[in-house]
Amino acid sequence: MKRSGKSFNHGSRRGNKVSQTARDLSPSVLPQLQDQLSVGMTLRFTTTGTGGSTSASVTFANLLDAVLIAGTATNSYQLFDFVKVKRVTIRATPGANSGGSTVTVGIEYPGLVAGSAAGGKQASNSTMGIAKNAFVSLRPDKLSAAGMWQPSSNQNAFVVRATDLNSSICLGTIIDVELAYKNSADVNPAAITSAIAGATPGTIYFGGLDGGRLAATWARSVFVPRI
């Protein structure tokens, strides 16, 4: 068949598709498969005022503790074995606790552990009045520790801040953490740092941003079930 001086060989196209399918399904050459669970997701947290601090240092262990599975009513384990940070975003509005005046939010990727791939990247933003949010969003450098796959450790991934006019924590600040998780067949599940209580075995729970339990965390998860 010809159209506008061009020739179309539909049979040839069909033949190529058949050949490609035959190669993919060849019993002598099996396709490789990814034998691990890999998930990208955004976790959302809100500040509680617990502890009174205006900032929180978040470790890679904290990020892995944030998605946990209960083994028993009092024992739990990290669902994933490795994590990397894609982006952190903070939104805050001055409220009654700040006198409805100003609030400042900030993010930092310090990378202060000797021998690791440091980041040294940070950003800050402020708002005045209650009509607008203070907004800041920051990615880690691709070759920094936070931007690469990390196992559970006490090394800081990033630091988040939310301060009002009175130099107090801005309550209800929303923190979105975009993460990538994956597991490994050769890594034993790590136990959660902070003990749990009253959990249903086999249930997946969301933990606090700083690894603390629901009643003691600096920023609790907005997802349910949380613990």
For the segment 159-173, the average pLDDT, to the nearest whole number, is 91
Q: Per-residue DSSP letters for 78-92? A: ES-SEEEEEEEEEEE
Q: What is the pLDDT of residue 197?
A: 94
The answer to whether residue 8 sits within a structural domain is: no
The answer to whether residue 165 sits within a structural domain is: yes
For the segment 73-80, the average pLDDT, to the nearest whole number, is 95
Residue 16 class from Cβ within 10 Å (0-12 exposed, 13-18 middle, 19+ buried)? exposed
Q: What is the pLDDT of residue 128?
A: 81
In Å, how far are 112, 120, 141, 146, 149 from 116, measured between CA atoms? 8, 12, 13, 10, 12
Cβ pair 46, 219 in contact under 8 A: yes
pLDDT tens-digit profile of 14-70?
A: 555 555 655 566 667 777 888 889 999 999 999 998 998 999 999 999 999 999 999
The answer to whether residue 148 sits within a structural domain is: yes
The answer to whether residue 18 sits within a structural domain is: no
Cα 119 to chain centroid, rounded: 17
The answer to whether residue 112 sits within a structural domain is: yes
For the segment 75-86, the average pLDDT, to the nearest whole number, is 96
Q: What is the pLDDT of residue 102?
A: 86
Q: Compute the distance between CA of residue 56 and CA of residue 67 in angstroms, rounded to an integer.
A: 18
The answer to whether residue 9 sits within a structural domain is: no
Q: What is the CATH number of the domain that holds 215?
A: 2.60.120.220
Q: What is the pLDDT of residue 21?
A: 58
Question: Is pLDDT larger for residue 30 or for residue 156?
Answer: 156
Reference 190, options 47, 60, 30; nearest CA is 60
- Of 2-11, 90-99, 124-133, the one with minimum mean pLDDT is 2-11
Highest mean pLDDT among 19-23, 80-84, 97-101: 80-84
In Å, how far are 12, 75, 81, 211, 218 from 180, measured between CA atoms? 42, 24, 11, 18, 22
Q: What's the pLDDT band for 108 if we cut at 50, 70, 90?
A: very high
Question: How many domains, the chain?
Answer: 1
The answer to whether residue 226 sits within a structural domain is: no
Give the domain range for residue 80.
33-221
Whether the pLDDT of residue 114 is over 90: the answer is no
The answer to whether residue 159 sits within a structural domain is: yes
